[in-house]
Amino acid sequence: MPSTKRNKSETSESLAIKGLGVSDGFAIGPVYVLHADNFRIHERTLKSEDEIVQETSRFQQALDITREQLDQLIRDAKSKYGKEYSAILESHFLMLEDQEMIRGTLKNIKSVKMNAEAAFAAVMDKFKTGFLKSNNEYLRERANDLEDVKRRLLGNLLGQQRSFDIPEASVIVADTIKPSDIAGIDRNKILGFVSEAGSKLSHFSIVARSLNIPAIVGIANLTGIISKDDTLLLDGHTGELIINPDKKDIDRIKTKSRQIAKKETDLETVAKLPCVTNDGYEVALCANVELPEEVENALHLGAQGIGLYRTEYMLFSARELPDEETQYREYRRIAEKNHPHKITMRTFDVGGDKIPLEILTAKGYVHEDNPFLGWRAIRIALEYPDFFIPQIRAMLRLSSEFNVEIMIPMVINLSEMREAKRIIEQCKQELRRQDIPFNENIPVGMMIETPGAAILAQEFAAEVDFFSIGTNDLVQYTLAVDRGNPKVSGLYNCFHPAILRLIKQTIAAGHQRKIHVAMCGEMASNPYAAILLLGMGLHEFSVLPPVLTKIKKIIRSVSKTEAEAFASEILVMSDVAEIEKKVSLRTKAILG
């Protein structure tokens, strides 16, 4: 995390600092610092039954008040900021309803004889520690949501709710910005955000993007070096922050802003055009999503449907496995937003690194030193059908009204795919007996994300209706590189010749068996890979919503024949650096 040293008396000097841009845009204005809550929780032992009753009542009252506050915030957010922000606050409301949290707090009060604030803080800190230990970035970021809920309820217990009196439109700076902080600030007073902590996956970042507020995270000790008299200029595209910018800095950013605005206008025009090469070859362009709130934006940017719906997001804050009806309702929310387009629903792609252990311990889970090579995804589903069947039934029911595909992750053996298909057929038979409608011909496909699956693509193609290539794991497993390990992450490269040849082999197997071949991994979202993948014969790109228009522009700028010739050149090359140079030059000639 970048940091710098600066004497607060040096307020007239310009200083540039680099952070991580998480929401595009530019802002310049005075600084306003949101100071952290300074709750002091003093644990004390309850000495009488009357005290236990009193502390139980205090907790219940604080819980009720916090519910009322969040309910009002949710209503305000829906009317002022839209569904994406309100959905995040709704997830906070659900945390308040978590029965394990409530039972744990009451147990600490009644059995351990702790006062209410200490009892509640102990439970929330335990949950937070579990999230922070996860290898999954999304789960680690959810620890901030727990902290937000914890802070609000503790404030009600202690009678210390903070409010913000921002005198003028400002750049808001804090050590950590919580989603509920934003709800408490007049939107007209927010020019931009800078947070010392956070990532692209933090809910604060998601909210900033949904509200089109420029934001930067990852600048350590910023609140310690800025002064209340400073002016800040931030570039949410690059993560650049300038304290007290001079005229040259301001003019440079204004010029850059005009250039980006023109490019975005051009790309918005592209969003409305069909995804075809300039010689008329049609390519499917879909989006990767995990939240219903992401669908509308993806369709606006030109997505033709959802090529990867990560259903496992439902488990990230769950304490028990959602039942069939819960899953069906949630899937329906996203299918309705996506209708009439197709939605490819991946069954739970999870292991001990991704979901709370409470769900798995009952099924024999033990700690794994390397969960990426362990008990996960289809391996859990086949060993414990009660983990798999409710999800399959919910997906099948959804298919009676919507264009649904089922995709199985992490398959390495033909026997696994055949057993998954057998269970799907068993679910179909149950639904027929119950007179519950579903699509009898629902497509069932699999992810190709290991070298073993890619090598056996010819055999797998005879078993499924489609492939979707998951390059994230394919690269990691093929090259024996942990991309989360900074010592070797530089070796993680989707343009390695071995990766390209496995991809080509997979696509060729799909063509031979006449099945649809998609790619939903990060490589599909890489503009430099677009012409190459098109030339290899990829039928569908499923990408992150922000790059939809870029990928479409590239596809529309070349012919299928040109792309095939380019791919042929690349596939005989053996030097990664040379491959990267060639694809980079070819793409930059289109995007500028």
- Taking only the tens place, the pLDDT of each residue in 71-99 is 888 887 776 666 667 777 887 888 888 88
Give whichever of 159-168, 187-196, 314-323 has the largest mean pLDDT.
187-196
More confident residue, 537 or 491: 537
User: Is the separation of the CB atoms in 139 and 131 below 8 Å?
Assistant: yes
> In which domain, by residue range, is 334 found?
285-442
Which of 247, 274, 294 finishes a domain?
A: 247
> 146, 142, 153: which is closest to 68 by C-alpha?
153
Query: Is the same domain home to 419 and 564?
Result: no
Q: How high is the mean pLDDT of the chain?
A: 87
Rounded to whole angstroms, the Cα distance separating 420 from 408 reads 8
| Reduced 3-state DSSP string for 445-457 | EEEECCHHHHHCH
102 has pLDDT over 60: yes
**Residue (of 468, 453, 586, 470) closest to 529 by Cα position:** 586
Please give the tally of structural domains in the chain: 4
* Mean pLDDT, range 390-401, rounded to an integer: 97
C-alpha–C-alpha distance, residues 68 and 79, integer Å:
17
Question: Which one is catalytic: 92, 275, 520, 539?
Answer: 520
Most confident option among 7-11, 357-361, 424-428: 424-428
Q: Higher confidence at residue 142 or residue 241?
A: 241
In this structure, of 27-36, 162-171, 477-486, 528-537, the range with the lowest mean pLDDT score is: 477-486
**Quick one: angle between helices 324-338 and 385-398, nearest 10?**
40
Where does 371-496 show beta strands of DSSP type E? 404-408, 444-448, 466-469
Write the burial class of residue 514 (CB in 10 Å: 0-12 exposed, 13-18 middle, 19+ buried).
exposed
Q: Do 147 and 88 share a structural domain?
A: yes
pLDDT exceeding 90 applies to what percent of the chain?
Answer: 55
Burial 172-207 (b: 16+ CB within 10 A, else e): bbbbbbbbbbbbebeeebbbbbbbbbbbeebbbbbb
274 and 294 belong to one structural domain: no
532 domain-assigned: yes
Q: Would you say residue 221 has pLDDT above 90?
A: no
Residue 432, pLDDT score: 97
Question: Nearest Cα to 294, choosing from 43, 568, 511, 542?
Answer: 542
**325, 429: one domain:** yes
Q: Is 494 a catalytic residue?
A: no
Q: Which residue has the higher pLDDT, 101 or 74?
A: 101
In a domain, 7, yes or no: no
The closest alpha carbon to 94, from 148, 167, 14, belongs to 148
Outline where DSSP puts E strands in 453-560.
Answer: 466-469, 516-519, 540-543
The answer for residues whose C-beta is within 8 angstroms of residue 438's C-beta and 6 or more apart is 396, 397, 399, 400, 428, 431
CATH number where 485 lies: 3.20.20.60
**276 and 324 both lie in a single domain:** no
Do 366 and 475 share a domain, yes or no? no
Can you tell me the mean pLDDT for 244-267?
85
State the first-to-last Cα distance of the chain, in angstroms, to the nearest integer.
31
Quick check: is 44 in a domain?
no
How much is the pLDDT for 546?
A: 83
Identify whether residues 554 and 507 lie together within a single domain. yes
CA atoms within 13 A on the CB side of 346: 30
- Lowest-confidence segment of 98-107, 168-177, 182-191, 406-415 by average pLDDT: 182-191
| The pLDDT of residue 428 is above 60 | yes
Q: What is the pLDDT of residues 148-173, one digit of tens each?
A: 899 889 999 988 876 777 888 999 99
Read off the tokens for 301: 């940017």
Look up tokens 């949290």; give the residue.
101
Task: Tell me the average pLDDT across 372-389.
Answer: 77
User: What is the per-residue pLDDT for 128?
Assistant: 86
Task: Confirm whether 203 is a catalytic residue.
Answer: yes
pLDDT at position 450 over 70: yes
- Mean pLDDT, range 439-443, rounded to an integer: 97
User: What proportion of the chain, given as a percentage, has pLDDT over 70?
Assistant: 89
Q: Between helices 137-158 and 83-96, what is the axis angle to 10°?
A: 70
Quick count: other Cβ atoms within 10 Å of Cβ 524? 29
> Pick the catalytic residue: 203, 341, 496, 539?
203
- Average pLDDT estimate for 504-512: 97
Residues 353 and 432 in one domain: yes
Cα separation, 434 vs 360, whole angstroms: 30
Residue 491 lies in a domain: yes
253 within a domain of the structure (yes/no): no
Question: In the listed set 399, 421, 442, which residue is the last one of a domain according to the structure?
Answer: 442
Q: Classify residue 107: in a domain, yes or no.
A: yes
Determine, yes or no, domain membership for 529: yes
Split at pLDDT 50, 70, 90, the class of 484 is: low
Would you say 327 and 308 are in contact if contact means Cβ atoms under 8 Å apart?
no
Q: Are residues 302 and 438 in the same domain?
A: yes
Q: Model confidence at 352, in pLDDT bands (50, 70, 90)?
A: very low
Whether 205 maps to a domain, the answer reads yes
Q: Return the sign of the alpha-carbon dihedral for residues 369, 370, 371, 373.
A: negative
| SS3 assignment, position 310 | strand
Long-range contacts of the stretch 55-59 (C-beta < 8 A, 24+): 55/109, 55/114, 55/115, 55/116, 55/119, 56/106, 56/109, 56/110, 56/116, 58/116, 58/157, 59/105, 59/106, 59/109, 59/116, 59/119, 59/120, 59/157
CATH number of the domain bearing residue 126 = 1.10.274.10
Q: Are residues 135 and 179 in the same domain?
A: no
Residue at a domain's end among 158, 179, 210: 158
Is 208 in the same domain as 352? no
Q: Write the burial class of residue 227 (CB in 10 Å: 0-12 exposed, 13-18 middle, 19+ buried).
A: middle
pLDDT over 90 at 54, yes or no: yes
Whole-Å CA distances, 241 to 11, 178, 589: 15, 20, 30
115 plus 152 within the same structural domain: yes
φ/ψ region of 427 (left if φ > 0, alpha if ψ in -120 to 50, else beta) reads alpha
Q: Judge contact between 504 and 553, C-beta under 8 A.
A: no
3-class DSSP state for residue 543?
strand
